[in-house]
Chain A
Amino acid sequence: MSTYQEFIQQNEDRDGVRFSWNLWPSSRLEATRLVVPVSCLFTPLKERPNLPPVQYEPVLCSRATCKAVLNPLCQVDFRAKIWACNFCFQRNPFPPSYAGISEVNQPAELMPQFSTIEYIVQRGPPTPLIFMYVVDTCLEEEDLQALKESLQMSLSLLPPNALVGLITFGRMVQLHELSSEGIAKSYVFRGNKDLSSKHVQELLGLTKPAAAAQQGRPYGKAKVLINPERMFLQPVHRVDMNLTDLLGELQRDPWPVPQGKRPLRSTGVALSVAVSLLEGTFPNTGARLMLFVGGPPTHGPGMVVGDELKTPIRSWHDIQKDNARHLKKATKFYEGLANRSAGNGHCIDIYACALDQTGLLEMKCLSNLTGGHIVMGDSFNTSLFKQTFQRVFSKDYNNDFRMAFGGVLEVKTSRELKVCGAIGPCVSLTSKDACVSENEMGVGGTNQWKLCGLGPSTTLGMYFEVVNQHNAPVPQGGRGAIQFVTQYQHSNTHRRIRVTTIARNWADANSQIQHIESSFDQEAAAVLMARLGVFRAESEEGPDVLRWLDRQLIRLCQKFGQFNKDDPTSFRLSESLSLYPQFMFHLRRSPFLQVFNNSPDESSYYRHHFVRQDLTQSLIMIQPILYSYSFHGPPEPVLLDSSSILPDRILLMDTFFQLVIFHGETIAQWRKAGYQEMAEYENFKQLLQAPLDDAQEILQTRFPMPRYVDTEHGGSQARFLLSKVNPSQTHNNLYAWGQESGAPILTDDVSLQVFMDHLKKLAVSSST
């Protein structure tokens, strides 16, 4: 078992993949019986400090329908200088530049340690990055001032050659001309009327759009024919002073807001103008459209709520009762913009800071389809927003931005596998390849996806199916292979191609089920199933998803559990599956599948981050980490359970979105009594400090920055902890246990113990 753990970890470190199964069942029928599909979490641009890119073009298979990249799995005849494609078996001659290769002089791409390799390719002149600021001016003074300062600060973080543009909006939408001299000019659009892309471009004098408006072509050159007098996008180094002044002089939207009304915010038209502008000037080059809003769209197309304050913005209850007037129309509007933007290769970020909802439910597609960020805060004048925004521009060990653009991911499989789909921040390129399955999971019907914005932690869930017929012999060579080819624009503007080729052994499920079982990666499987659940939840009714999830769990337990029929107490799961039910228990209670107690915007926000993070972070979101600090030893991880809440402990809980430091009752009393100030109780001071120090590292690196809750026994904010822990002790069973440990949680929620009991009963029952 430990060898599989090592194998799994090595593969994740090297290739950025975590598969649900590391031994693959050799027939379709057996694969479906395994319940959890053959699937993987894949991080295309995983940070690899020890992987220097090579400066030549990848060698491709010459078969037109294949074009797989040369990789370590290929058979090579060094004497004849020929290689055999491991996907289609075509024999290909090496290009002339490979004349000198031999067994002892192999190119990097043939070596097993380079199962992941990156190529730097020259594809036309490098195009600059583009940053388009779209700023809501219907903010309170304090918020507007803080936002202005953050925007000015960001100009110092941009590369000097980057192009910037500015749109401000309130009731009207203003596109600013950025020139380095003369008076400031802007184009004003009415906020209540949407304009077609063509119309916008005509109005802006861009009537000869770049001929390369070729959607989907990753290498499209941006032939920019901007009318020189129309300077909407200019290099930072030329306009930074003027733009800084312009930002500094921004005023709150001048239209007065009557009592009992919301400000008229024309977010829809503002975005429409921005998307059209970028479409007409720089299609198919890396661009980041950053939307800053302090409230919901209330005016024009894409409005989410009217301007009457007495009509509250839709809640989940309203949506379930079909009482959300603007929902369908607004969602459709933003989906249209999102698809256009994705087609142009531009990503859209949403920075939404307000105490009430801002319409993330309707607007989330803008970021989800394009790979942009969603950041949700209470105010622009908070460190959460300011620092999260700074981290958009964070740099890696090479002093390059972590953000990448224009990603196109293509997947190739050996013929026994087909691709069912992907779940993550991507859109389909609807490419019809032989390896595309008719069964769709997530975004399917394709083997190519576009990720307009991506980073080193962006992770897709990829789902496959085994198509070998039952009783067909195990394929020759015994291994199935998958190749991931990601082309993208690096933040230094050059194009790169990263190729990851992996293989796993086929196994006959009849004779080797135990080996297949031990190759199960329960962490990856939990996250992959969770993504499927979230994908369903966003398109189906809530209870159905839970029922589906439960059914899958029961089937998995029936398949792999060791038990005597109808005897729940005999039920056992092997080590490779033992944590899986626990993950499912916490997943069912998580904000990704439970909308209770969250607004539609919050649910959208949590789901947005869940379907793009890597495995470790995703698992933290499903089942938060809990560390305990006490005088009894070094800090240690403890069960996410009410019994871990003890008077003389400090708990640090990380849910990814929140960091909670909870002081037990006695600790809180000592703190209140001020023992930490006394010299002879120095160790108590250190104890109080320890979780803060550990939390710091997370706070310094995580994107988005988490909320930080410092609370104690009896504190109102303790609810963040109490709602997450397994309520093994509640007011219902407090006296049945006769123990005094832990804090009872006042809830009617099912505890993990009760959940497991039910699960075992259903798994062993001969009637299920």
Chain B
Amino acid sequence: MENVYVKPGNQERGWNDPPQFSYSLQVTHGPQRKLLNKRPSPATASVSDFSSFPGVLPTPPNSSNTAAPPMCGVAPPPLTQARPPADGVATPPPHAGPMKGQRGASSSQSEPELETVTLVLNKALDACRRAVKDQVCNDVAKRLRLLEESWRTDKLSLPVRRRMVLLASDVQAGRWDSADDLHRSLMVDHVTEVSQWMVGVKRLIAETRQLSPELLEPLHSVVPPVQDPDHQS
């Protein structure tokens, strides 16, 4: 689930910087689970009557032992009973630190992936050369080379590589919207790694999807890429 994450904000530049959400978390439009906009009702909140405690005042399970040395002096919290959490909607837990891509983890595994990705994208580019201006195609080619180089020199993190495999698979299958969405999610989540060449991929998708079907034939004859085990469509 590396596509769905919450990272802490940049604590060096803004000490109250909010957490950073992945693209997928920002785009979903589920019904609002909980609207935190209630105030205590006037009945319990007798603001002009200060002879009673406003609001609920529970007694703590252990008396507040405030003058406590760090570890042993504080009375511990109540032990876990079989009490479910207050609202049982699971959300992905925040990660303690920034996502670390497993760089160059298994280079023998990433090689075939790179080859398939570049194969698909270059085939798409070839298909475009018949209908699209040379200048544009050359620009795209330049960026695909940059992509290749970054990949080979282990500059791309695992999540980026994984998503590129999915993107290539989408391009090959003609799932243009999905490919476009993947490119966007990569630009939002990993702009530093991909900004140099991603616009070429974006343009490639945009141009390829407009080609007439016969020009797309060669694309379909590409050997199907290795399916990523975590593939989610």
Q: Is B214's beta carbon under 8 Å from chain A?
A: no
Among A150, A180, A643, A706, the residue within 8 A (CB) of B54 is A643
Task: Choose, from B14-22, B123-131, B161-169, B222-230, the stretch at the interface.
Answer: B14-22
Query: Known contacts A181-B135, A384-B17, A666-B64: does B83 contact A673 (CB below 8 Å)?
Result: no
- Closest A residue to B135 by CB, please name it: A181
Task: Choose, from A466-474, A511-519, A684-692, the stretch at the interface.
Answer: A684-692
Measured CA separation A636–B39 after assembly (Å): 9
Task: Choose, from A184-192, A205-213, A538-546, A645-653, the stretch at the interface.
Answer: A645-653
Q: Which residues of A have CB within 8 Å of B18? A: 383-384, 387, 659, 699, 705-708
Query: Known contacts A152-B195, A237-B206: does B77 contact A670 (CB below 8 Å)?
Result: yes
Q: How far is the CB of A645 from chain B (nearest CB, A)?
A: 11
- Closest A residue to B16 by CB, please name it: A707
Query: Known contacts A620-B37, A659-B18: does B60 contact A390 (CB below 8 Å)?
Result: no
Q: How far is the CB of A170 from chain B (nearest CB, A)?
A: 22
Q: Is B105's beta carbon under 8 Å from chain A?
A: no
What is the interface size of chain B, counting residues whose CB is below 8 A from a CB of the partner?
77
The answer to whether A240 and B80 have CB atoms under 8 Å apart is: no
The answer to whether B14 and A377 have CB atoms under 8 Å apart is: yes
Measured CA separation A673–B74 after assembly (Å): 8
Q: Is A394's beta carbon under 8 Å from chain B?
A: yes
Q: How far is the CB of B153 from chain A (nearest CB, A)?
A: 19
Q: Is B29's beta carbon under 8 Å from chain A?
A: yes
Measured CA separation A743–B55 after assembly (Å): 15
Q: Which residues of B have CB within 8 Å of A62? A: none
Q: How far is the CB of B127 from chain A (nearest CB, A)?
A: 18
Q: Is B103's beta carbon under 8 Å from chain A?
A: no
Q: Which residues of B have CB within 8 Å of A635? A: 86-87
* A 630-654 binary contact with B (CB < 8 Å = 1; else 0): 1111111111010110111000101
Measured CA separation A547–B14 after assembly (Å): 37
Measured CA separation A474–B29 after assembly (Å): 48
The answer to whether A753 and B202 have CB atoms under 8 Å apart is: no
Q: Which residues of B have CB within 8 Å of A153? A: 187-188, 191, 195
Residue in B66, B80, B83 with the greatest tally of chain A CB atoms within 10 Å: B80
Measured CA separation A641–B52 after assembly (Å): 14
Q: How large is the interface on A (under 10, 10 to 19, 20 to 34, 35 or more residues)?
A: 35 or more
The answer to whether B56 and A636 have CB atoms under 8 Å apart is: yes
Measured CA separation A693–B88 after assembly (Å): 10
Measured CA separation A35–B74 after assembly (Å): 55
Q: Is B96's beta carbon under 8 Å from chain A?
A: no
Q: How far is the CB of A48 from chain B (nearest CB, A)?
A: 15
Q: Which residues of A have CB within 8 Å of B29? A: 396-397
- Closest B residue to A706 by CB, please name it: B18
Q: Is B2's beta carbon under 8 Å from chain A?
A: no
The answer to whether A638 and B40 have CB atoms under 8 Å apart is: yes
Q: Which residues of A have CB within 8 Å of B1? A: none
Among A630, A637, A708, the residue within 8 A (CB) of B17 is A708
- What are 30 residue pairs bridging A and B, where the CB atoms are less than 8 Å apart in the complex? A149-B192, A149-B195, A153-B187, A156-B183, A180-B136, A241-B143, A241-B203, A378-B14, A378-B17, A394-B26, A396-B29, A578-B42, A579-B39, A623-B39, A625-B37, A629-B86, A639-B45, A639-B47, A639-B54, A641-B54, A646-B57, A646-B58, A646-B60, A669-B74, A670-B77, A673-B70, A683-B83, A697-B32, A705-B18, A707-B16
A-B CB proximity, top 10 nearest: A708-B18, A383-B20, A383-B9, A379-B13, A632-B58, A707-B16, A648-B60, A382-B14, A244-B199, A378-B14
